[in-house]
Amino acid sequence: MGCSPAAVRAALLLLVVAAGASVAGATYVRYKDPKQPIQARVADLLGRMTLEEKIGQMTQIERANASTAVIEKYFVGSVLSGGGSVPSEKASAATWQEMITKMQKAALSTRLGIPIIYGIDAVHGNNNAYNATIFPHNVGLGATRDPDLVKLIGRATALEARATGIPYTFAPCVAVCRDPRWGRCYESFSEDTKLVQLMTAAVIPGLQGAARHPTGIPVVAGPKNVAGCAKHFVGDGGTRHGINENNTVLSFHDLMRIHMPPYYDAVIKGIASVMISYSSWNGVKMHENKYLITQILKDKMRFRGFVITDWQAVDKITTPPHKHYYHSIQETIHAGIDMVMVPYDYPEFVADVTAQAKRGAINMDRINDAVTRILRVKFAMGLFENPLPDHTLVAQLGSKPHRELAREAVRKSLVLLKNGKGKKDGKPVLPLSKDAKKILVVGTHAHDLGLQCGGWTKSWQGQSGNDFTGQGTSVSSHISHACMNPNILLMLMLIYVVLGHDRCAGTTILEAIKSAVDKKTVIDYSEHPDKGSISKNLDDYDYGVVVVGEQPYAETAGDNQNLTIPGPGPEVIRKVCELVKCVVVLVSGRPLVVEPYLDTMDALVAAWLPGTEGHGVADVLFGDYGFSGKLPRTWVRSVDQLPMNYGDKLYDPLFPFGFGLTTKPAADRS
């Protein structure tokens, strides 16, 4: 039977429509549909994944190893920058973005196109990045008692991380430091659990945004926010003798009472991830503590984000490290770890997990749970919709508004411990006069941005010097590698004009003093002055400012069993304060032993680790603003009293928790 041309055309049209519908059906992928619920997207994607792709999501490697070939071969789920790991020396925000874009495109080119999540320790600003705003470390923020300020700092940190293309930070540290001998004590807001809770509940919405989800579900409000990481679970601030990675000996009740509450707040605020501590609890390594990780954090507290290890922490379960690694991996994953930080040994890790999963030594339900949690965070962050860095955010790095915010934080963090009366006029030493004829500024920390910032600044351990945080940038340096779309270029230029991008990348305390005093005031500056030279000019000096403190450190390198002021600090204090009316500004990550020199000082200020904005110190020294900071931790007389914390039965500090003299701005003084 024959067909008419019209019938043939109609039949062909039906075939085309049917074929089109078939293609459309084949191309629709539920996990790629942002209109679908997150859990539905996770389930759909998980069901499509091979074992190798799942293990790849559980693997986090170091930036230096994250080549296109490695990301594609191992289906890498996450990349990190260790402390000081940067794309190039003094890399611009655009250079960071270029690097991360290349990695992300490699991930997107894989079969399922799952984006990586790039993480970094942005613990007091985006501190690895050149020209970033460096805020006071957490101990200083605890002294402010200002959660609204801390929330704004979280927001600014998120923007500066996103400026470099980074969507994930290993912050905040919610440790309750119970012994200042611990080398990480400055990463803790306080020895007081309630104060740590207050700051934790403020900084997380700053970092992640204030979107609402059911308790325990990760909350990342948008592409200008970052995923956070509460660390280090749990009890890291309570180790014996303050030794890093040591054993915390406490009853379950005291662990829950002192160290666990900030994690409840973090979970309630929708924290995206939790990092496990190197330390142990009553002899059991936290990285293999299934009871605390799975039964308490995940089951009882209903945490729905992912749990991540610390740097090469699986190796450290055994002594010596890496012994019985095959077994350590099994213990770690079964304890409830979801993502494993294996910066360098990822081939061995992937091979071992694969082998154990195939023979049933590692439970597939546990692997599926881990991948579910990681994907849940990635979907919650919007990484599938916005995987690439936003070129329009580069101007946020080191912006003027962020530096002004950091300056405010410095002002509010300073704690006035002593303010004696001058021998001649009987008036309190502080605030200092701006119109003095001649002043003396001395000490190792007076003119050194690196010492002001402390550890975790550009490099892991921190470093001294005035050039590593940036010496000013031009618009062209930020946009030279950006997308050359004229509309984007115009937008970048407008952002710089609106924000008034600050060309200065930091101010030392000496520079801030010079800026604060009258132009006619003569300033003599010396790191380590000669007593004879001071004596020659003794009658000329109105007063002296002595700025001394600790050298930068991080983690174990900062463990300190004596807590004395490092030399030549004590000698400089004695030389100057015995001859001239003096203010001592102590730059440190914790209280140091000062009682032997206290009578010599006319005034003493705890400046903590203020960061790049030294103007904040001068603002208060010279009375533009009053002192308002309160001690976030007990200031002991000697290390023989340690550990000693607020509320202890035997409590005899030099300065108690919460102490801090207040002053009014000079303009308000009658």
Q: Find all residues with CB under 8 Å of 509, minimum gap 6, and list them.
A: 445, 446, 447, 452, 545, 547, 585, 607, 614, 617, 618
Q: What length does the chain have? A: 670
Catalytic positions are 310, 555
State how far the Cα of 352 lies from the Cα of 343, in Å rounded to an integer: 16
Q: Find all residues with CB under 8 Å of 638, minimum gap 6, and list them.
A: 593, 595
Which of 420, 347, 303, 317 has its CA nearest to residue 70?
A: 347
* Residue 348: half-sphere exposure toward Cβ, Cα within 13 Å: 15
Quick one: how far is CA 314 from the chain centroid? 22
CA dist 270 → 77, 275, 302, 356 (Å): 21, 15, 11, 33
CA dist 525 → 445, 522, 601 (Å): 12, 10, 19
State how far the Cα of 316 lies from the Cα of 279, in Å rounded to an integer: 10
Which pair of tokens denotes residue 271?
Answer: 């924290």
State how far the Cα of 497 lies from the Cα of 480, in Å rounded to an integer: 17
At residue 545, φ and ψ (nearest 5 deg) are: -120, 115
State how far the Cα of 221 lies from the Cα of 262, in Å rounded to an integer: 21
Spatial contact of 350 and 59, defined as CB atoms under 8 Å apart: yes
Which pair of tokens denotes residue 98?
Answer: 């270029």
Q: Find all residues with CB under 8 Å of 150, minimum gap 6, and list them.
A: 141, 144, 199, 202, 203, 206
State how far the Cα of 387 lies from the Cα of 149, in Å rounded to an integer: 30
Beta bridge partners of residue 190, listed in sequence order: 176
Which pair of tokens denotes residue 28?
Answer: 């629709």
DSSP E strands, 209-305: 229-233, 247-248, 273-276, 280-281, 284-285
**DSSP letter, residue 277:** P
Spatial contact of 66 and 79, defined as CB atoms under 8 Å apart: yes
Q: Find all residues with CB under 8 Å of 531, minimum gap 6, and list them.
A: 575, 579
Look-up of token digits 């970094």:
120
Spatial contact of 636 and 653, defined as CB atoms under 8 Å apart: yes
At residue 417, φ and ψ (nearest 5 deg) are: -95, -30
Q: Could you tell me whether strands 306-308 and 280-281 are parallel, antiparallel, or unpaired per DSSP bridges? A: unpaired
SS3 652: coil
State how far the Cα of 60 lies from the Cα of 349, in Å rounded to an integer: 10
Q: Find all residues with CB under 8 Å of 385, minimum gap 6, and list them.
A: 34
